Amino acid sequence: MFQNLFAKFGYGAAKVDLVLHQNTFTLGDTVQGELRIQGGKVKQRINKIDVELLLSIYKDGNEYRQQIQHFPFHHSFEIQPGEHRSFPFTYDLPMNLPISASSVQFYFITRLDIASGVDSSDRDYIQIEPPIPLQRVLTALNQLGFQEKHDSREFEGSLQEFELAPVSGPFYQQVREVEFYAAVDSNGVHLLLEVEINALMGKNEVKREVYISNDVLENPTELVRFLNQIISEMIHNPHGFGANTFSTFSGFSPSSTSGGKMSSALGGAAVGAIGGFAAGMLAAQAIDSIMGDDEEDNEDGGFFASNDPDDEEISGFFDDDDDTDFGGFFDDDD
CATH code of the domain in which 25 resides: 2.60.40.640
Residues spanned by the domain of 247: 132-299
Residue 299 — pLDDT band, cuts 50, 70, 90? very low
Q: What is the pLDDT of residue 141?
A: 98
Phi/psi class of residue 151: alpha, beta or left (left: φ > 0; alpha: ψ in -120 to 50)?
alpha
Residues 221 and 84 in one domain: no
Entry field: residues in the chain: 334
Residue 230 lies in a domain: yes
Q: Between the CA of residue 275 and those of 125, 153, 187, what are the distances in Å?
A: 18, 9, 19
Residues 22 and 70 in one domain: yes
Task: Name the more confident of 2 and 237.
Answer: 237
**At residue 54, does pLDDT exceed 90?**
yes
Residues 177 and 36 in one domain: no
Q: Which of 9, 76, 80 is nearest to 44 (CA)?
A: 80
Task: Name the more confident of 296 and 301.
Answer: 296
**At residue 52, does pLDDT exceed 80?**
yes
Are the C-beta atoms of residues 54 and 68 closer than 8 Å to each other? Answer: yes
Residues 244 and 154 in one domain: yes
Most confident of 69-78, 113-122, 301-310, 317-326: 69-78
Q: What is the pLDDT of residue 117?
A: 58
Give per-residue pLDDT as tens, 217-234: 999 999 999 999 999 999
Rounded Cα–Cα distance for residues 299 and 291 (Å): 9
Residue 68 lies in a domain: yes
Most confident of 61-70, 273-282, 315-324: 61-70
Residue 316 lies in a domain: no
> What mean pLDDT is predicted for residues 75-91?
89
Residue type, 57: I
Among residues of the chain, what percentage have pLDDT more than 70?
67
Q: What is the pLDDT of residue 63?
A: 87
Residues 117 and 149 in one domain: no
**At residue 292, does pLDDT exceed 50?**
no
Q: Between the CA of residue 319 and those of 67, 69, 274, 285, what are the distances in Å?
A: 10, 12, 19, 10
Q: What is the pLDDT of residue 94?
A: 87
> What mean pLDDT is predicted for residues 151-173?
90
> What mean pLDDT is predicted for residues 157-185?
92
Domain count, the chain: 2
What residues have CB less than 8 Å from 82, skipping those under 6 apart?
A: 39, 41
Q: What is the pLDDT of residue 287?
A: 33
Rounded Cα–Cα distance for residues 290 and 310 (Å): 16
Residue 53 lies in a domain: yes
Nearest-10 Cα torsion for 279, 281, 285, 287:
-20
Residues 125 and 137 in one domain: no
Residues 295 and 174 in one domain: yes
Residues 35 and 111 in one domain: yes
Residues 189 and 282 in one domain: yes
